[in-house]
Amino acid sequence: MGIMNRSDVNKIIDNVIEFISKRNVYLPKFGYFTKDDWEKLNLKEWQEVFDVELGWDVSDFGGNDFSKTGCVLFNFRNGSVDPLLKDLYKNPYAEKLLYVGQDQELPMHFHRDKMEDIINRGGGDLMIELYNATADEDLDKTKELELTIDGQKLVYKAGSIICIKPGSSIRLNPFMYHRFWGEKMPVIAWEVSKTNDDHKDNRFLDNADRFSEIIEDTKAKYVLCNEYEKILHVKKTNQM
């Protein structure tokens, strides 16, 4: 499992907030809540945030070098695939912000269920390398890729690297391997997708870890989306 220091997580989120704010990109108010802010609130009013894991997500995907392999995400909205929560959160869609650093890679992976559109909202170019998956979940180096880019249907060779310019988007189907990185400068990307399950729906080619272990070398400033129970001691509705 990847290991990150809490001091680095605090600094990374501060830097992302500063970067996107300079570009007039803003978050809902809970995106700016610190741990101390959360502890002053009536947490029952925020149960949806905890149940579907909205908010900050910082991971080095097991690489132990966040500047090289990693991503910062912010989950705006999500539904639930949990049988005990699906009737409570019926929206079949999710929305995320992804901050991809310059030359920082999000490693090769696919989703078994989730279809997603990745949109470059600003910054540098978003580079995406793509393959279909084989039946045994390896890279299919022969089958062509049928893609939709900005509403245009296109066909590419396996292993193609596609440049998504600011303002453009690409649709990624289930079982389509993809890795991406920012080129020239960091990228503010958006993900619009089916309901998102980051605990079970990711298949990493090199068995990367979706979430990092956080070493508490300093006090947590922000609470990550998978830490609400650990830090705020709130349980999901299906665990009450």
Instruction: List, for residues 188-211, the tens digit of each pLDDT value.
Output: 999 999 999 999 999 999 989 999
- Residue 227 has a CB neighbour count (10 Å cut-off) of 19
Tell me the pLDDT band of 30, cut-offs 50, 70 and 90: very high
Largest CA distance in the chain: 56
Report pLDDT for 151. 97
Q: Which band of pLDDT confidence, cut at 50, 70 and 90, is reported for residue 176?
A: very high
CA–CA gap between residue 57 and residue 95 (Å, rounded)? 13
Q: In the chain, where do the E strands start and end? A: 3-5, 55-59, 71-77, 93-100, 105-111, 116-133, 139-140, 145-149, 152-156, 161-164, 169-172, 176-194, 202-204, 213-215
Please choose, from the candidates 195, 191, 203, 86, the residue with its C-alpha nearest in 3D space to the C-alpha of residue 135: 203
Q: Please say whether the beta carbons of 81 and 238 come within 8 A.
A: no
Query: What pTM did the predictor assign?
Result: 0.96
8 Å CB contact between 39 and 63: no
Domains of the chain, earliest start first? 3-239 (2.60.120.10)
Return mean pLDDT, the chain: 96
Selection from 182, 217, 203, 173 nearest residue 98 by Cα: 182
**C-alpha angle with apex 38: 187 to 46, nearest 5 degrees?**
85
Q: What is the DSSP letter of 196?
A: P
Pair type for strands 145-149 and 116-133: unpaired
pLDDT band at residue 234 under the 50/70/90 scheme: very high
At 39 the pLDDT is 97
The terminus-to-terminus CA distance of the chain in angstroms comes to 29
Residue 1 has pLDDT above 80, yes or no: no
SS3 12: helix
pLDDT at position 36, please? 98
